[in-house]
Structure 1
């Protein structure tokens, strides 16, 4: 039975940190089992990396992507283990869309872990380390950001574009490092309150990722995709899809297309969502979601206390 008025959302890159999920790992067998399965699929001890590795290693996208997917799926399984019901709808931010599709039954977990590691490798090699960058811009109208990036792009500094529409007044830009720096300077002149470089190692969701998209399409050709048991709102067009081949196309397009997170949240609200559960490390999406629609209630599953609070708060909502 689905939880009425409830959505589960899954974070993307930037939420990773050394030591994350330590309490959940101790509390829930489902979390331990999920990390063990991921380690077996990838051939290294993922849990040891998260707890004892270096942040710089964790931030490399080929590592970050399977780590975050595993973390989100582990918390979803802990939720189920504790008796939590399925939500009305799901969505994931960028990489988080893969997590959502695993939890919705559209992708096999082991397949997805291997696939997102490849996705990370493809994205990293599309633009060498140091040549690409991303930055969050806060306090400027979205269209101003789009226009300034368009004015900078194509010049001697390279390409830059608005790529993540995270909430009104918070947009992420990405591209060649010099072009991102030039856009940041112009946006500060235009009144941006903050411009924060992001801890990622490639300019995601830009035209620079098209080669990665082509390689991802090849890798995905042999991966089975099912129709989701729970609707998943996609980043590219803010709609749910049931056709596996259409889902496959959208996952490829997403790698070089802007993430329309504001539109995804609005689409969930239009379906009647009033409670949003963040299933993964951190609370980044909870903050964005409240800026998009102040009526939304947010819950986080990263800590056992948060998971139990969400179970209690949503009990009887099915």
Structure 2
């Protein structure tokens, strides 16, 4: 049975030692070595030890997560796991999904996301931007609060539509602060500042989008082997030039994750595997489509369990 989806996580799912459970597995080591060769630093040491506290810096976080997800994907295939009917990734995870669908070679993708992370960090000076998670309010309520909290050169926008009752906002730091106060006054269960300075998925990322538009033209894109869901459009695309453009749009557009999962379910997908570190996406999916079953891949045993689950065993 192949009526399942691979879901690839984005920033926030990383952790020191996130591949420790896979130590000694050749295909995982080979993937780490390939990333190291492409980037010019020791990816295995970064993920295992993080001695210089780089794993929280976006230009290192992004390639580390893509590498971990790809290593798990390759092990899945080596274990005889079936190919999914569709793939989707949350923010950075869209690049992992494109690797899984054969659109971008892993060595190209890991360099791309390192460039993406650096461009995002440079787009807005430290301290100027911010992000916050708003819990317990309807999306349209938060959207209205964003509009009310925004001023001429000081704005906040909806950035990640994660699941019903959870919307991440981003923008200028002062506007984000105003939005959090307004959200609490409007009855939000929580309004939590996030430990990131880059206001991802907002118009403030336009400099990063412009840089990525140029960089993406240097990369070979292939036709996808299966449908890949885009964050900005919550649709799938087969045309490689439109996929390329979607990655540029993604930086300045909100992640429409709730809508993506709803549309996936509408196509008949009822099962999936979170192909990467952590369980963030499996938790979000349960909030969107309660009946969708999502396995995880955080250890070889869990990967085997998910393989059995997707095989209907």
The TM-score with structure 2 as length reference comes to 0.97
Equivalent position to 2:118, from 121, 131, 144:
121
Matches within 5 A, 1:132-151: 132-151=129-148
Q: Is residue 91 of structure 2 the alignment partner of residue 94 of structure 1?
A: yes
Equivalent position to 1:234, from 220, 230, 240:
230
SS of 1:174's equivalent in the other structure is: strand
Matches within 5 A, 1:53-202: 53=50, 56-155=53-152, 158-202=154-198
Q: Could you report, residue by residue, the CA deviation over 1:249-292 in whole angstroms, capped at 9, with x for unpaired residues?
A: 00000010000001111121111111110001110000000100
Quote the residue 2:6 is aligned against: 8
Distance 2:164 2:52 in 1: 30
Where structure 1 has 5 or more consecutive residues not aligned to the other structure, the ranges are none
CA RMSD of aligned residues (A): 1.4
SS of 2:235's equivalent in the other structure is: coil
Quote the residue 1:43 is aligned against: 40
Return closer, same or farther for 1:112/1:206 CA change in 2, 3 Å cut-off. Answer: same
Q: Does the CA-based 8 Å contact 1:175-1:203 persist in structure 2?
A: yes
Quote the residue 1:19 is aligned against: 17
Quote the residue 2:280 is aligned against: 284
Where structure 2 has 5 or more consecutive residues not aligned to the other structure, the ranges are none
Distance 1:281 1:249 in 2: 27
The TM-score with structure 1 as length reference comes to 0.95
SS of 1:149's equivalent in the other structure is: helix
Distance 2:53 2:182 in 1: 29
Q: How far apart are residue 217 of structure 1 and its match?
A: 0.3
Q: Does the CA-based 8 Å contact 1:105-1:228 persist in structure 2?
A: yes
SS of 1:7's equivalent in the other structure is: strand
Q: How far apart are residue 208 of structure 1 and its match?
A: 0.1
Distance 1:241 1:148 in 2: 33
Q: Could you report, residue by residue, the CA deviation over 1:191-239 in whole angstroms, capped at 9, with x for unpaired residues?
A: 1101222233411000000111011000011101111102111111111
Distance 2:275 2:97 in 1: 9
Q: Could you report, residue by residue, the CA deviation over 1:22-62 in whole angstroms, capped at 9, with x for unpaired residues?
A: 11233x32111111100110000011111211585211111
Q: How far apart are residue 316 of structure 1 and its match?
A: 4.8
Q: How many residues in Structure 1 have an aligned counterpart in Structure 2?
A: 313
Moved beyond 6 Å, runs of 4+: none
SS of 1:227's equivalent in the other structure is: coil
Distance 1:69 1:297 in 2: 23
Q: Is residue 299 of structure 2 the alignment partner of residue 303 of structure 1?
A: yes
Equivalent position to 2:219, from 215, 219, 223:
223
